[in-house]
Structure 1
Amino acid sequence: MLYWVLFIGIAVISWIVQSRFKNKFKKYSEIPLTSGLSGAEIAQKMLHENGIYDVQILVANEGQLSDHYNPANKTVNLSPEVYHGRSVAAAAVAAHECGHAVQHATAYSWLQFRSAMVPVVSIASRLTSWVLMAGVMLMVFSGNPWILAIGVGALFLTTLFSFITLPVEFDASNRALAWLDASNVTPNREEHDGAKDALKWAAMTYVVAALSALVTLLYYAYLLFGRRD
């Protein structure tokens, strides 16, 4: 019963945070930058001012808010509205993704740890649902806990990955905001506060995702260890 209360609560909070973030992004997308720079130009400027010349800036094809940095091929991938945009939101997102490139170039430990986990977590995330389902059924009908234990182990890895992502994302935002101010890309208070607010709500989506993963892990861990007792 407690699990379902927590699950529903997290789901509601997640919906609120996602909606809030999208509204914030829309709001700050309508505030033009004094500098008039596009997201792509800001990304290139930030990379070059940090001594990074081997990272490409590409247009992501996955759609809105699909922006990401890929350390495997050293590319900053910006959604069309960020790549071409000349708004506070575009500046914040472009600088944030370049913050990850700076982390990579400076061997930021949390990013290295996260990147090392990607291959294993990628496999675990694809198999977890099926293994957990099979494990619960086997536990109920035969009392055999081993498949469920494997599923809980895989779920632990994906949950750990979610929490390791948090310092990586917060650090990238801090680097972005510091650079935006130092480079005078967001020279006035409205632009600075807008960029900060947009990145805060983006970070909150990762916090909620991590908490959701933790609640799910605790539920299946309870099924495994509780029923075995």
Structure 2
Amino acid sequence: MGIWVLLIGIGIISMIVQWRFKNKFKKYSEMPLSSGLSGAEIAQKMLHDSDIYDVKIISVEGQLTDHYNPADRTVNLSPEVYHGRSVAAAAVSAHECGHAIQHATAYSWLQFRSAMVPMVNVASRVVQFTLMIGVMLAIFSNNLLLLQIGVAALAVTTVFSFVTLPVEFDASKRALAWLETANITHGREEHDGAKDALKWAAMTYVIAALSALVTLLYYAQMLLGRRD
């Protein structure tokens, strides 16, 4: 009963955080940047200020699809951020460049996260199937092997969610420090807006990690209950 309450609670909180984040992004997307630079121009300047010249900045389709790809060394910005000249565009583009800087400086948490990616890709593909079928087998035939595999796969993806947190927090820290020192965000209103936008973006990762943990506890409890 306790795990179910946590699952429901995390689900509700997740929806609230996602709604809050989208509202914050919309709000700061409508706040013009005094410097007048676009997200793409800000990204280029931040990379060059960090002596990084081998990372491409490209526009990708979708909304909030912004990410850094270490495999091909590209900063991928959604059209709203790539072309945008707002506080939100500045915050997001600088954040993604923060990941590029982490890569260039061999930031330990990013290296650890990248090393986990192949294993996480496999775990993500099998986790739903193994858990669904594993639960049915455990209930009707007391065969726990598939459920055990599912719980192990879920544990891998859960660890990955938590490893992601310091990577995201550090990228935002680098972004905010550079935006201020490079005089991209003028005055407290613009800087505080960028900080607020990145805070709520980070909260989505925190909730995702907690959700993964509670889900893992739920299936682990089921597995241990069947073994008794």
Q: How high is the TM-score relative to the length of structure 1?
A: 0.98
1:49 aligns with 2:49: yes
**Mapping of residues 4-43 of structure 1, within 5 Å:** 4-43=4-43
Structure 1 unmatched runs, 5+:
none
Task: Tell me how far apart the structure 2 counterparts of residues 86 and 100 of structure 1 sit (CA, whole Å).
Answer: 21
| 1:196 alignment partner in structure 2 | 195
- Offset of 1:137 from its aligned partner? 1.2
Q: 1:193 corresponds to which letter in structure 2? A: D
CA RMSD of aligned residues (A): 0.6
| 2:112 alignment partner in structure 1 | 113
Once the two structures are superposed, residues 139-197 of structure 1 have per-residue CA deviations (whole angstroms, 9 ceiling, x without a partner) of 11221211111110000000000000000000000000000001000121100000000
Task: Tell me how far apart the structure 1 counterparts of residues 186 and 6 of structure 2 sit (CA, whole Å).
Answer: 43
Once the two structures are superposed, residues 106-134 of structure 1 have per-residue CA deviations (whole angstroms, 9 ceiling, x without a partner) of 00000001011111111211110110111
1:226 aligns with 2:225: yes
Q: 1:41 corresponds to which letter in structure 2? A: E
Q: 1:95 corresponds to which letter in structure 2? A: A
Task: Tell me how far apart the structure 2 counterparts of residues 175 and 89 of structure 1 sit (CA, whole Å).
Answer: 16
Give the match's secondary structure for 1:35: coil
Structure 2 unmatched runs, 5+:
none
Give the match's secondary structure for 2:143: coil
- Offset of 1:103 from its aligned partner? 0.1
Please list every run of at least 4 consecutive aligned residues from structure 1 whose deviation after the TM superposition is greater than 6 angstroms.
none
Question: How many residue pairs get matched?
Answer: 228
| 1:103 alignment partner in structure 2 | 102
| 1:176 alignment partner in structure 2 | 175
Q: How high is the TM-score relative to the length of structure 2?
A: 0.99
Identity of aligned residues (%): 76
